[in-house]
Amino acid sequence: MNTFLLLSALMASQGSQSADSLADMHGDLQELVVVAKKEVIKSDGASLTYDLAEDDSAKGLTLLDALKKVPMVTVDGQDVVYINGDSNFKICVNGKEDPMLQANYSRIFKSMPADAVLKIEVITEPGAKYDAEGSGGVLNLITETKQRKDGYSGTLSAALSNRDYNLSFFGKMKYDRFSLDANVTYGATSFLDQTTDQTFTNINDSDDTNHKQVMKSLQKVGFNFVNAGLNASWEPDEKNLFTFGGSFMNLDGKIKDYHSTTGMYNLVNLLQWQYSQDINGSLKMLSASANASYQHSFDTPGHRFVLAYLYNFGRNPLDLYTETSNPVNYDILYPLLVNKNINYNREHTFQLDYANPFGGEKHKLETGAKIILRHNTATGESGVGQTLSSITYLPEKEVDMMQLQDIYALYASYTGHFGNVSANAGLRYEHTRMSIRNRFDKSEDFTRHLNDLVPNAAVTYIFSPVSNLRLSYQMRISRPNIRQMSPYQQTALGTMVQEGNPNLESEHSNRISLTYTNYGRIFGGNVFADYRYTNNAIAEYIYYTQGEEESMILHQTTANIGHSQEFGMGGFLNMYLTNKMNLSVNGRLAYVKMQSFSPLFKNHGWTGNYGANWNYTMPGEIKLSAYGGQTFHVIQLQGSFSGWYYYGIGVSRGFLNDKLTVALNASSFLQSKTPFHANTHSGAQHTYTDSYSGSWRVGVNLTWNFGHLNSSAKKTDLNIDNDDISKSDGNNKGGISF
């Protein structure tokens, strides 16, 4: 029980006791300090908020490491993030879609300091107001606060570890009715490159001669990362608010070293042929956005309408140069292979929201409209040759395609309170016009019109102000992105091809859940049970074709595989063991059944995860922390992942009235490399992946706070969040990744 609760109980028990008698008990009232301890984790059953600003153990961590501490969020051995066991979710920053996170969020989270984010919000039941995409829900990164004092404040932060370093600045100012926020972050790899050892083993049961193909690789990558943002607001009077903002991000990733050896063995493990490959190249991601909004409030609190506009631009080039050498019983026709690919994303969004509470604020009606106009292009070319100066580009490998995607949406939702019962229901309609135009292969051109009705509903019974029981239903959809749809074949490794599927359609996911939430003074948390059904799901799958020298070419692509069912239960518990110590635990267990329509694949089994986070404040205000967790047996359509685990410790202390904070942290330090294993099966073909990443980390973080303001630029109540693109292609399961 914190000091504030103790003081409240004391004052209540004294009844009419005067302030003088309270002073007799505690001395001079001027020296009596009331401290209200903020909770790190809060949840109402529909969403959960993790307060990173209140978790000193997160200082010095990357945002990806900090996500491992958040209930309902897990991060696998290849840095794929899952929300409630689902890797398809929306990512927002302050409620707005940010294009820098669309192409490869894990790479950005790995280079982004956790200090850049105040709170992480996990919304498992977004409702009709949010875009219908993202079956796992919404991951909202909150970097803004809301207060009204004039002045300025800022934070300077520097972090250094064996893996990377970063510098960041966050500043705020407010004068009268004008507010401004600005932030700049720079990060780069430091002493140790990010290394990954991988072994791909492909077994063909139907061929005794070319029975087993093995590829062993070592990869080292580096990066530098710059991100900047600016938000401003002007409130001419109490009923009108104007906001403006923009952001810029540039990520430059390079392959410092990549070497692989591929060989074919017969049934008795005798070498048939072999060759080596060395790869160098780069992946760059540049994005910029601008937004503006206007909010008008009426006399009744909560009665308002908001207009907003958002423009996003993205440029993502990928250049790879592959040299093949050291042949054994293998003919190398062209030692050099060049792959060049570049995507452009342009997007205009217009949105209107209207909210009107009535009936003494016991009822609320919300409605709105949204238009998204997307214009994406992808170009790619492949060339072969003896040297760089003699490269010949292959016309059949050239891609120049354009994707147009126009989305028109309307929604309405109602929320009502009836004594101890509250209910809400909503319906969202989305019309999508999706088309692809290919300059070189007109047969792949197509236009589709999709019409989706997306309902949601929930009923909550309130037992007390701190406990409730919630029954809810949610439908979500996911549309394919241009990378998933592009037919361009990337063949950097010779025996592995990554390609898109232009015939993809949007998928639908349904979830029914029952959640009990209780916040006690010492114990708080929730437990839930849910059932999920996904129809026409977009998922990765593999198939094989015959290559040169009897090699098997593995193709990685995506398709609307069919449907999946999942029965799960879980929850989290936050415990204040003492006023100086708190422990939180969370977990989920689920049974998964997956089946495709054509070709016929089936898989089923148990999966789950658990985690714990412990914090303790020692004498002298030295703060200790420890966290860890594990995910086991992730089910895929054609196989499974073996699971992974993580852990970390930290110590921090504030100086100079907490103006300066020094934090030390370490994670995955008991082993030099973190293992990750996966298997995939397709008829007589079986593929096994064994990956070991150098992820142990030891670092120090210095944070300096200055100024005298705890406010940020105000926001209208409408936040544009267009992250409606399926995330399943954002992180490769093999080959080259950043």
* DSSP string over 211-254: -EEEEEEEEEEEEEEEEEEEEEEEEEETTEEEEEEEEEEEEEEE
Mean pLDDT to the nearest integer, 473-478? 87
Q: Are 281 and 318 in contact (CB under 8 A)?
A: yes
Q: Is the pLDDT of residue 9 over 60?
A: no
Q: Residue 5 — pLDDT band, cuts 50, 70, 90?
A: very low
pLDDT at residue 236, as a whole number: 94
pLDDT tens readout for residues 677-704: 999 887 788 999 999 988 888 999 898 8
Residue with structure tokens 């300091």?
113
Q: Are 95 and 39 in contact (CB under 8 A)?
A: no
Residues 6+ apart with CB under 8 A from 586: 71, 72, 570, 571, 572, 573, 610, 611, 612
pLDDT tens readout for residues 537-577: 777 777 767 665 556 677 777 777 778 899 999 988 888 88
Q: Residue 227 — pLDDT band, cuts 50, 70, 90?
A: confident
Q: Are strands 697-707 and 660-667 parallel, antiparallel or unpaired?
A: antiparallel
Rounded Cα distance, 371 and 15, in Å: 58
Strand partners, 404: 375, 435
Residue type, 245: G
Helices in 79-164 by DSSP H: which ranges? 105-111
Rounded Cα distance, 323 and 219, in Å: 15
CA angle 682, 683, 685 (to 5 degrees): 65
Task: Please identify, in words, the CATH class of the domain defined by 41-707.
Answer: mainly beta
pLDDT tens readout for residues 566-580: 999 998 888 888 888
pLDDT at residue 293, as a whole number: 94
Provide the mean pLDDT of the chain: 81
Q: Are 542 and 524 in contact (CB under 8 A)?
A: no
Helices in 81-128 by DSSP H: which ranges? 105-111
pLDDT at residue 13, as a whole number: 36
Q: Is the pLDDT of residue 104 over 70?
A: no
Q: Is the pLDDT of residue 113 over 80?
A: no
Q: Is the pLDDT of residue 4 over 80?
A: no
DSSP class of residue 20 equals H
Q: Find the length of the chain.
A: 738
Q: Please choose, from the candidates 626, 662, 696, 652, the residue with its C-alpha nearest in 3D space to the C-alpha of residue 162.
A: 696
Share of the chain above pLDDT 70, in %: 81
Q: Please choose, from the candidates 101, 98, 149, 120, the residue with its C-alpha nearest in 3D space to the C-alpha of residue 52.
A: 120
Q: Is the pLDDT of residue 479 over 70?
A: yes
Per 3-state DSSP, what percentage of the chain is helix, strand, and coil (rounded to 5)? 10, 65, 30
pLDDT at residue 713, as a whole number: 55
pLDDT at residue 407, as a whole number: 92
Q: Are 356 and 364 in contact (CB under 8 A)?
A: yes
Q: Residue 464 — pLDDT band, cuts 50, 70, 90?
A: confident
Q: Residue 398 — pLDDT band, cuts 50, 70, 90?
A: confident
Q: Is the pLDDT of residue 606 over 60?
A: yes
Mean pLDDT to the nearest integer, 120-125? 83
Q: Residue 273 — pLDDT band, cuts 50, 70, 90?
A: very high
Residue type, 576: Y
Q: Is the pLDDT of residue 208 over 80?
A: yes
DSSP class of residue 269 equals -
Q: Residue 726 — pLDDT band, cuts 50, 70, 90?
A: very low
DSSP class of residue 726 equals -
Write the burial class of residue 76 (CB in 10 Å: 0-12 exposed, 13-18 middle, 19+ buried).
Answer: buried
Q: Residue 529 — pLDDT band, cuts 50, 70, 90?
A: very high
Residues 6+ apart with CB under 8 A from 372: 347, 348, 349, 405, 406, 407, 409, 722, 724
pLDDT at residue 16, as a whole number: 39
Residue type, 701: N
Q: Are 716 and 237 in contact (CB under 8 A)?
A: no
Residues 6+ apart with CB under 8 A from 617: 580, 581, 623, 624
Mean pLDDT to the nearest integer, 238-255? 90
Mean pLDDT to the nearest integer, 515-532? 87
> Residue ranges per domain, the chain?
1-37, 41-707
Rounded Cα distance, 394 and 378, in Å: 17
Q: Please choose, from the candidates 199, 272, 210, the residue with its C-alpha nearest in 3D space to the C-alpha of residue 544.
A: 210
Q: Residue 621 — pLDDT band, cuts 50, 70, 90?
A: confident
- What distances in angstroms separate CA 431 from CA 371, 450, 506, 726, one per listed residue? 10, 6, 12, 17
Rounded Cα distance, 553 and 562, in Å: 25
Lowest mean pLDDT among 158-172, 322-336, 350-364: 158-172
Q: Please choose, from the candidates 215, 280, 216, 268, the residue with its C-alpha nearest in 3D space to the C-alpha of residue 551.
A: 215
For 664, how many CA atoms within 13 A lie in the half-sphere containing its CB?
3
Q: Are 504 and 560 in contact (CB under 8 A)?
A: yes
Rounded Cα distance, 305 and 298, in Å: 9
Residue with structure tokens 């037919």?
487
Residue type, 595: Q
Rounded Cα distance, 694 and 697, in Å: 9
Q: Are 716 and 294 in contact (CB under 8 A)?
A: yes
Cβ of 453: how many Cβ atoms within 10 Å?
Answer: 10
Q: Is the pLDDT of residue 598 over 70?
A: no
- What distances in angstroms separate CA 103 from CA 219, 315, 713, 723, one per listed residue? 21, 10, 28, 11
Q: Please choose, from the candidates 629, 516, 510, the residue with its C-alpha nearest in 3D space to the C-alpha of residue 570.
A: 516
Lowest mean pLDDT among 198-207, 244-253, 493-502, 525-534: 493-502
pLDDT at residue 738, as a whole number: 37
Strand partners, 606: 591
Collapsed DSSP state (helix, strand, coil) of residue 179: strand
pLDDT at residue 249, as a whole number: 87
Cβ of 331: how many Cβ atoms within 10 Å?
Answer: 9
Three-class HEC string of 308-323: EEEEEEEEEEEEEEEE
Mean pLDDT to the nearest integer, 167-191? 86
Lowest mean pLDDT among 222-231, 626-635, 725-734: 725-734
Q: Is the pLDDT of residue 722 over 60?
A: no
pLDDT at residue 193, as a whole number: 76
Q: Are 84 and 78 in contact (CB under 8 A)?
A: no
Strand partners, 652: 623, 663
Residue type, 651: V
Mean pLDDT to the nearest integer, 416-433? 93
pLDDT at residue 321, as a whole number: 92
Q: Residue 211 — pLDDT band, cuts 50, 70, 90?
A: very high
Q: Are strands 552-560 and 496-498 parallel, antiparallel or unpaired?
A: parallel
pLDDT tens readout for residues 49-62: 888 877 766 766 77
Sheet of 41-43, strands arranged across: 41-43, 47-51, 119-123, 138-142, 90-93, 96-97
